[in-house]
Amino acid sequence: MAKVKTAFFCSSCGYESPKWLGKCPGCGSWNTMVEELLQPKSPPLAGVAKAARKPVQLGRDTVQDVPRIQLPGVELNRVLGGGLMPGAVTLIGGEPGIGKSTLMLQVALDSQRKVLYVSGEESEMQIQQRAKRIGIHNEQCYILAETLTQNILEVCEEMQPEVVIIDSVQTLHSRLIESSAGSVSQIRQCTAELIAIAKELDLPLFLVGHITKDGNIAGPKVLEHMVDTVLQFEGDRHFVYRMLRSVKNRFGSTHELGIFEMTPGGLREVHNPSEILIGQHDDGLSGTTVAATVEGARPLLIEVQALVSTAAFGTPQRSATGFDTRRLNMLLAVLEKRCGFKLAMKDVFVNIAGGLRVEDPALDLAIVAAVLSSNSNIEVPRKICFAAEVGLTGEVRTVSRLDQRIAEAGKLGFEQIIVSRHHKATLAKTNIQVVEVGRVDEVFRLLFG
Ligand code: TYD
Ligand code: MG
């Protein structure tokens, strides 16, 4: 019997080594090398056309513009860069339970095209029940509960669907590889087989992939470079809002963002996120401010809440939901050291409304204002919003796309926006008063006298 060959792969970056190593030379992580069976002589990928191709001159009309396939709704099309390209392979990553299957089933039902939805996780029965909850009927939506790639490829060739959805890559397995489903080599092989068929049949393909706690798709990062587009579906499972971000896109920009709301009847698009994220509380409450942030290319006004109270135990607690705790600690240190606010013995809690996670430095000033407001128990007037970064010396720094932020705040009826003195915005005709500040203590005097 032929000797079975194995190799070691890093489960975090996919690095291959003939022997076991404690530390992966590829990504430097420890204890991530796992043994995988190697296929003795891997047969060519199913159905790949290997005919020699001729180079084409760039800019000549020989390369025609391919029309994009419009999916239902505007959010998903926007994130994809204006629609789905024929033959494009899109990976949708997200934590379990975030709503990936729901999103994909809605695409399948709503598009009124011939769609093949392959599920390795749920039975036909379960999917049918979910479809009933979503309440859309599509005669041309076919469900297939299958995990063997060779069978899926066969069905694709026979059925010629317009869109294929695979839920999820972790459940697939290929006959060509012996290791178990979900292992690095299985995921890599199955994806390669599916990509080959997608390119050959010009078939747009969606792959659903679970991400691990540290944010890697399928554990290994191996999938990200194989596919054309990587979308990340994120949000807090306990809140209703979900964000769909594009992390990589060969056919569009990666600055796009789609916002959805999870309802009992499936996902609903949110076209006016700012209006929902602000204005959910009464006047007269301290510790609440509004930040004019930009997510991707989209202005988003969000509410920031802070609670400052005397520490009940010896060590004060600092906790942030939707915001980096280290950054919060830095802002508190700046307030303590540069501006003389005594916060060292206080518990500080910060919360971004709606369970969203925002990584925009423009949140800084709104957070600082919310903390100071809660600390002094004086409310910040509802008609003021903030858009500036705070530096280590307590200086207020300018942020990108300020014009866009000011315009959005004006549109939503804010009367004042507090920004850095050093901005380069053009400030063309706005009905909102732009207040410029240089340092954090100026903001305190401005707001609380
Ligand atoms: P699901 O799409 O199964 O998540 P994933 O595929 O990412 O693991 O969605 C999971 C959650 O969505 C589930 O906890 C219930 C909720 N949900 C709704 O609130 N409304 C609905 O109409 C559907 C279908 C699901
Ligand atoms: Mg699922």
> ∠ CA(308), CA(337), CA(439), 5° rounding?
90
298 alpha carbon – ligand 2 mean position (Å) = 28
Polymer length of the chain: 449
Residue 247, both tokens:
């992390």
Binned at pLDDT 50, 70 and 90, residue 13 comes out as: confident
pLDDT of 146 reads: 93
Alpha-carbon gap, residue 145 to 83, rounded angstroms: 27
| CA distances for 159 relative to 151, 156, 230, angstroms | 12, 5, 26
Q: Report domain extents, the chain.
A: 6-37, 75-271, 276-448
Q: Is the pLDDT of residue 115 over 60?
A: yes
> ∠ CA(191), CA(197), CA(198), 5° rounding?
85
Span 375-400, average pLDDT: 93
197 alpha carbon – ligand 1 mean position (Å) = 29
339 alpha carbon – ligand 2 mean position (Å) = 49
- CA 33 from centre of chain: 28
Judged by DSSP in three states, 325 sits in helix
Q: Is the pLDDT of residue 237 over 80?
A: no
Residue 89, both tokens:
């392979």
Q: Which of 241, 365, 359, 373 is nearest to 307 (CA)?
A: 373
Ligand 1 pocket residue status of 96, Cβ below 6 Å: yes
Per DSSP, helices labelled H in 28-169 are 75-79, 100-110, 124-134, 149-159
Q: Is the pLDDT of residue 433 over 60?
A: yes
Residue 50, both tokens:
């290997």
Span 288-315, average pLDDT: 88
Residue with the smallest CA separation from ligand 1 atom 23 is 266
What is the tens place of the pLDDT at every residue in 161-171?
999 999 989 89
What is the tens place of the pLDDT at every residue in 45-82?
555 556 787 887 777 665 567 788 998 888 899 899 88
Q: From its phi and psi, is residue 216 left (phi > 0), alpha (psi between -120 and 50) or beta?
A: beta
Span 13-31, average pLDDT: 89
Got the DSSP string for 167-234? E-GGG-B-TT--SPTTSHHHHHHHHHHHHHHHHHHT--EEEEEEB-TTS-BTSSSTTTTTSSEEEEEE
Alpha-carbon gap, residue 191 to 442, rounded angstroms: 56
Q: Is the pLDDT of residue 228 over 80?
A: yes
pLDDT of 353 reads: 82
Cis ω before 168 (30° cut-off from 0): yes
pTM exceeds 0.75: yes
Ligand 1 pocket residue status of 97, Cβ below 6 Å: yes
Nearest ligand 1 atom, CA 95: 7
Nearest ligand 1 atom, CA 98: 7
Span 36-41, average pLDDT: 65
Looking at residue 149, its amino acid is T
CATH of domain 75-271: 3.40.50.300
Q: Which of 103, 122, 217, 262 to probe ligand 1 with, by most ligand atoms within 8 A of CB?
A: 262
pLDDT of 11 reads: 79
pLDDT: which is higher, 409 or 273: 409
Ligand 1 pocket residue status of 133, Cβ below 6 Å: yes
Q: Which CATH number is 276-448's, of 3.40.50.12280, 3.40.190.10, 3.30.230.10, 3.20.20.80?
A: 3.30.230.10
Alpha-carbon gap, residue 273 to 295, rounded angstroms: 11
Give the single-character DSSP code of 21.
-
Ligand 1 pocket residue status of 128, Cβ below 6 Å: no
Cis ω before 180 (30° cut-off from 0): no
Q: Which ligand is nearest to the CA of 107?
A: 1
314 alpha carbon – ligand 1 mean position (Å) = 42
Q: Is the pLDDT of residue 155 over 90?
A: yes
210 alpha carbon – ligand 2 mean position (Å) = 8
Average pLDDT, the chain: 86
Residue with the smallest CA separation from ligand 1 atom 1 is 99
Ligand 1 pocket residue status of 43, Cβ below 6 Å: no
Looking at residue 167, its amino acid is D
Residue pair 294/406 in contact (Cβ under 8 Å)? The answer is no
Give the single-character DSSP code of 227.
S
Residue pair 410/432 in contact (Cβ under 8 Å)? The answer is yes
208 burial level (CB within 10 Å; 0-12, 13-18, 19+): buried
Alpha-carbon gap, residue 59 to 63, rounded angstroms: 8
Neighbours of 384 (CB within 10 A): 20
Residue with the smallest CA separation from ligand 1 atom 14 is 97
* Contacts with 70 (C-beta within 8 Å, 6 or more apart), sequence order: 77, 83, 84
What is the percent of the chain with per-residue pLDDT over 70, rounded to a whole number? Answer: 91
Binned at pLDDT 50, 70 and 90, residue 189 comes out as: confident
Nearest ligand 1 atom, CA 130: 24
Residue with the smallest CA separation from ligand 1 atom 2 is 99
The reply to whether 276-448 shares the fold of 75-271 is no
98 alpha carbon – ligand 1 mean position (Å) = 7
69 alpha carbon – ligand 1 mean position (Å) = 26
Residue with the smallest CA separation from ligand 1 atom 8 is 97
Ligand 1 pocket residue status of 33, Cβ below 6 Å: no
Q: Which of 28, 8, 19, 46 is nearest to 183 (CA)?
A: 8
